[in-house]
Amino acid sequence: MKITLERNPAEQIATGALIVPVFEGEKESHFGAAPLVESGEVAGKAAEFALLHNPTGVAAARVLLAGGGKAGRFDAAELRKLVAGAVRFLKEKKVLSAAVLLDGSRSSAEFVSAAAEGAILGDYEPDRHKTGNDKKSLAAFTVVCPDGAAELDTAIARGQVLAESQNFTRALANEPANLLPPLKMAAAAREMSQEQGLACEVLERGELERLGMGALLGVAQGSAAPPALIVIRYRPQQAASAAHLGLVGKGVTFDTGGISIKPSEGMEKMKYDMCGGAAMIGAMRAIAQLKPPLAVTAFIPCVENMPGSRAQRPGDIVTAMSGKTIEVLNTDAEGRLILADALAYARHMGCTHLVDAATLTGAIVVALGHIHAGLFSNNDAMRDRVLRAARAEGERMWPMPLDEDYKEGLKTPFADIANIGSRWGGAITAAIFLREFAEDTPWVHLDIAGTAYLDEAQPHMPKGPTGLPVRTLVRLATDWVD
Ligand code: BES
Ligand code: ZN
Ligand code: ZN
């Protein structure tokens, strides 16, 4: 999709549809809106759309009145959703080009960037494997900003990079497990890295054995598909920071649960158990283009969790790379096992700060639903950095506790630590387990089990992967100051 910035008045823009935000309680009377607003047909509620044909006094073929909710609450995140929803609405009507009007207080870089992102995100369809030629897509999108200042071209370019990388993550995450086993995921990371000029290395089984990654290898051993640890490196031309950020993403290409097998209902969604890893690959794609001032390395442990004849059993004891022994009481708590070794490896490679993202627990969905990701940290400054970045990008995350008391649950007489605790507070005990492997490195863990994919389509997003938290990770890197 081609995105352009236009400073001429909205009336002069020749396009398939001019999107005009309208708000609750505000009487928009331009662009032929008056009768619809008067009759109450258009109330300005979020995700409400009304399409007008042959509007008078406007060069556009149509005007799309798009509800933005309450004007006082309309921020960049709401605009992103409005534009994405409008693009999805217009695609259904086979409209091929559109423009959105941003004037007055909405002509800032933040809003312009969000509009470009909304257009690209709204254009994404999870139809890679559909045959036929009814692909839905908009060819061109214009951000109309008559009052805009000078730096808006950069804002559009940044928005484009972010949203394209988020879509890259969504497409990768949506690949089914038969087409994307660990080594294929590694090949996708390699291909992206080559295109973006990043260094990419894939550690295969022999190397993982040599490094002593017993926790990761224990999960992998039940599958015929071999494991891989993907490492992607970005190094700035001139580092303005001594920090080295490590991005660690769970890459379970399918999670059957292993011998502690999951119920069959809904199990198809466990192809999304690599969303954390896909987000790290997408974030590196954007980082390569936006060139932040610090070193960033992504580590993505990829395995398939299967109950094969060689699978690990409940009660097995494995030795992680850090030397700690783990009693595997439940083979379905596999994410923390592979992350334990990946976190240790990231530390070994010199990372000074760590962020991991993982579809780690059903318990976080019980706690926070599908609205907020759970955020855990061993370091207040690091937690605040990530929260700030998330807020700036409109990706909702909620801080969760990590008191020492929760550690009790992971005690076992047979090894240094067990991989599960009691039933309650499951997202927290999972995070406590990870903290043992992040050790004293400032670290944030994002449990995205409830937010990485949608079970049902929404006006602004199709069913499937959301691409969270790509934008937060990129913002974290690009805004970095020591
Ligand atoms: N991949 C799952 C977590 C998950 C659940 C992701 C629902 C997305 C939606 C993870 O590997 C898992 O199975 N966790 C178990 C842990 C339990 C055995 C302690 C869970 O949450 O049930
Ligand atoms: Zn599991
Ligand atoms: Zn899992």
How confident is the model over 82-137, as pLDDT tens digits? 999 999 999 999 999 999 999 888 999 999 999 999 999 999 999 999 998 888 89
Q: What's the gap in Å between 74 CA and the centre of ligand 1?
A: 35
For the Cβ of 447 lying below 6 angstroms from any atom of ligand 1, the answer is: no
For the Cβ of 255 lying below 6 angstroms from any atom of ligand 1, the answer is: yes
State the pLDDT at residue 37: 86
State the pLDDT at residue 135: 82
- CA 299 from chain centre, in angstroms, equals 16
State the pLDDT at residue 33: 86
State the pLDDT at residue 204: 98
**Do residues 67 and 48 make contact, with C-beta atoms less than 8 angstroms apart?**
yes
State the pLDDT at residue 28: 79
Which CATH number does the domain 163-478 belong to among 3.40.1000.10, 3.40.50.300, 3.50.50.60, 3.40.630.10? 3.40.630.10
Amino acid at 55: P
What's the whole-model pTM score?
A: 0.98
Q: What's the gap in Å between 441 CA and the centre of ligand 1?
A: 26
Residue identified by tokens 């019980």 is 366
The catalytically annotated residue of 336, 347, 383, 435 is 336
The catalytically annotated residue of 70, 136, 205, 262 is 262
Ion ligand 2, residues whose Cβ is below 5 A away: 255, 332, 334
Q: Where in the chain is the domain with CATH 3.40.220.10?
A: 2-147
Q: What is the CA radius of gyration of the chain?
A: 23
State the pLDDT at residue 365: 98
The first and second tokens of residue 410, run together, are: 């992971």
For the Cβ of 303 lying below 6 angstroms from any atom of ligand 1, the answer is: no
Nearest CA to ligand 1 atom 5: 362
Beta strand ranges found along 208-313 (DSSP E) = 228-234, 244-249, 251-255, 295-305
Q: Where in the chain is the domain with CATH 3.40.630.10?
A: 163-478
Nearest CA to ligand 1 atom 22: 362
> What length does the chain have?
482
Residue 144 to residues 65, 100, 108, 150, 152: CA-CA distances in angstroms? 15, 6, 12, 14, 11
State the pLDDT at residue 29: 79
**Do residues 222 and 328 make contact, with C-beta atoms less than 8 angstroms apart?**
no
Query: Is 336 an annotated catalytic residue?
Result: yes
For the Cβ of 117 lying below 6 angstroms from any atom of ligand 1, the answer is: no
State the pLDDT at residue 360: 99
For the Cβ of 293 lying below 6 angstroms from any atom of ligand 1, the answer is: no
Q: What's the gap in Å between 333 CA and the centre of ligand 3?
A: 7
**Cα distance between residue 232 and residue 300, in whole Å:** 9
Q: Point out the residues of the chain with pLDDT beneath 70.
A: none
Closest ligand by atom to 359 CA: 1
For the Cβ of 335 lying below 6 angstroms from any atom of ligand 1, the answer is: yes
Residue identified by tokens 């995700």 is 47
For the Cβ of 48 lying below 6 angstroms from any atom of ligand 1, the answer is: no
Q: Which CATH superfamily is domain 2-147 in?
A: Leucine Aminopeptidase, subunit E, domain 1 (3.40.220.10)
- CA 436 from chain centre, in angstroms, equals 25
Strand ordering across the sheet containing 417-418: 316-319, 325-328, 417-418
Q: What's the gap in Å between 381 CA and the centre of ligand 2?
A: 31
Residue 423 to residues 133, 167, 267, 420: CA-CA distances in angstroms? 49, 35, 21, 9
